[in-house]
Amino acid sequence: MTGSASPDGMWSIGELAEQAGVTVKTVRFYSDRGLLPEAGRSAGGHRRYGPGALDRLRLIRSLRTLDLPLPEVRRILAQEDAPGAADALEDAVAGQLRDLGTQLAALRWREAALHLLRDCTPEERADRLRLIGAVSIPPSTDVLARFWRHVLPPRLPARLLSTLLEAAVPQPPADPTPSQVLVFARLHAVATDRRVVDIDVRRLAPRTPDESCRPAVLYEGLVEACALASADVRDRRPPYAGEALDCFVAAHAGLRGTRDTPAFRRQLSAQLGRIAHPLLDRYWQLVGELPSASRQPTIGAMDDWLRAALDAQVA
């Protein structure tokens, strides 16, 4: 072959296939799906393609080599000469990268899960397999968010609820270690534990004498108190009475519509000890094992620090 079209500028299907380095079957496939239009037919009824067919076929092959689906290829070809052609290709590539990232994350989680099973003792293997089998790969955080939507009081302001969920629900790492896979599997087990129905937020947010309840006041104040205590918790300073504790107590007093007094602090210290729930303690213990906890203490760690400061003060 000469490497060019016939004297009339047209390609036969065989010539086009050979020049593009593909099979006749491939050319016919794209042609039948409207991606490579025919310019006409020969007197014998054979397909003929115009001068631009070779470049178009090479473009199709390049896009398909990137694993772009046929609808995306069709959309890019349709806009090839239009002002939005570059945008169409950019959007398709971005979408493909997102899909590929999701697939790679799933593979990394699966690999870490397999290492977790391979490197444990025979006695641990059955339990770990059960835990991993109950979680999607990569794990969805929807289960953890539902857990906290149950634990937190209803009808919190949307902005406050979003802040609390963001702080309470850890995001799965893209490249997890086997231990992180185990932590997320155990978090999923905590969030789906049947005992979650026993967590009664009304014990933490009782009605005041006028039958009002101010949970938003409590949680706004707790967010502020945690922010004040964060550096002390991160630097492992012993609990002490200070601004963070004052803010913590004020939030609980505001919930009940009462004043912060020594008597109230003694009452609050006793009540917080009574309403502690093992599932919540376990949840925060697990979140504390994630690398993010070394950079930003968990709400659970800060709450423990503040409660310890209160207990020490009233002791």
Q: Could you report the per-residue pLDDT of 20-58, keeping only the tens digit for each?
A: 999 999 999 999 999 998 888 887 888 999 988 999 999
**Residues 314, 249 contacting (CB under 8 angstroms):** no
Using the 3D structure, point to which of 23, 58, 85 is the last residue of a domain: 85
Neighbours of 11 (CB within 10 A): 25
Q: What is the pLDDT of residue 43?
A: 77
**Per mean pLDDT, which range of 152-156, 175-179, 194-198 is the poorest?**
194-198
**Residues 94, 54 contacting (CB under 8 angstroms):** no
pLDDT at 116 exceeding the cut of 70: yes
Residue 253: inside a domain: yes
Residue 33: inside a domain: yes
Cα 22 from chain centroid (whole Å): 41
What is the spatial distance between Cα 315 and Cα 293, in angstroms, rounded to a whole number?
Answer: 29
More confident residue, 184 or 9: 184
- Claim to verify: residue 56 and residue 148 sit in the same structural domain: no
- Claim to verify: residue 73 and residue 145 sit in the same structural domain: no
- Claim to verify: residue 75 and residue 149 sit in the same structural domain: no
Q: What is the pLDDT of residue 199?
A: 72
**Residues 268, 257 contacting (CB under 8 angstroms):** no
**Per mean pLDDT, which range of 14-18, 109-113, 134-138, 205-209 is the poorest?**
205-209
Q: What is the pLDDT of residue 315?
A: 87
- Claim to verify: residue 158 and residue 236 sit in the same structural domain: yes
Q: What is the pLDDT of residue 160?
A: 95
Q: What is the pLDDT of residue 230?
A: 96
- Claim to verify: residue 81 and residue 131 sit in the same structural domain: no
pLDDT at 7 exceeding the cut of 80: no
Residue 97: inside a domain: no
pLDDT grade for 213, boundaries at 50, 70 and 90? low
Total number of domains in the chain: 2
- Claim to verify: residue 201 and residue 152 sit in the same structural domain: yes
Residue 37: inside a domain: yes
Q: What is the pLDDT of residue 210?
A: 45
- Claim to verify: residue 157 and residue 216 sit in the same structural domain: yes
- Claim to verify: residue 81 and residue 140 sit in the same structural domain: no
- Claim to verify: residue 194 and residue 310 sit in the same structural domain: yes
Q: What is the CATH number of the domain that holds 39?
A: 1.10.1660.10
Please name the amino acid found at residue 167.
Answer: A
What is the spatial distance between Cα 72 and Cα 239, in angstroms, rounded to a whole number?
Answer: 59
| DSSP 8-state code for residue 280 | H
Q: What is the mean pLDDT of the chain?
A: 88
pLDDT at 258 exceeding the cut of 80: yes
Q: What is the pLDDT of residue 79?
A: 80
Residue 109: inside a domain: no
Residue 99: inside a domain: no
- Claim to verify: residue 135 and residue 218 sit in the same structural domain: yes
pLDDT at 207 exceeding the cut of 50: no
Q: What is the pLDDT of residue 197?
A: 72
pLDDT mean over 168-181: 95
More confident residue, 257 or 131: 131
pLDDT grade for 282, boundaries at 50, 70 and 90? very high
Looking at the chain, the whole-number percentage of residues with pLDDT higher than 70 is 91
Using the 3D structure, point to which of 35, 65, 85 is the last residue of a domain: 85
- Claim to verify: residue 272 and residue 151 sit in the same structural domain: yes
pLDDT at 200 exceeding the cut of 60: no
pLDDT at 10 exceeding the cut of 50: yes
pLDDT mean over 274-286: 91
- Claim to verify: residue 298 and residue 178 sit in the same structural domain: yes
pLDDT mean over 199-213: 50
Q: What is the pLDDT of residue 164?
A: 96
Listed residue (275, 248, 274, 249) closest to 263, CA to CA: 249
Residue 66: inside a domain: yes
Q: What is the pLDDT of residue 202?
A: 45
- Measured in residues, the chain has a length of 315
**Phi/psi class of residue 207: alpha, beta or left (left: φ > 0; alpha: ψ in -120 to 50)?**
beta
pLDDT mean over 127-153: 93
Structural domain harbouring 70: 11-85
Each residue's pLDDT tens digit, 100-114: 888 999 999 999 999
Looking at the chain, the whole-number percentage of residues with pLDDT higher than 90 is 64
Residue 108: inside a domain: no
pLDDT grade for 161, boundaries at 50, 70 and 90? very high
Using the 3D structure, point to which of 85, 111, 139 is the last residue of a domain: 85
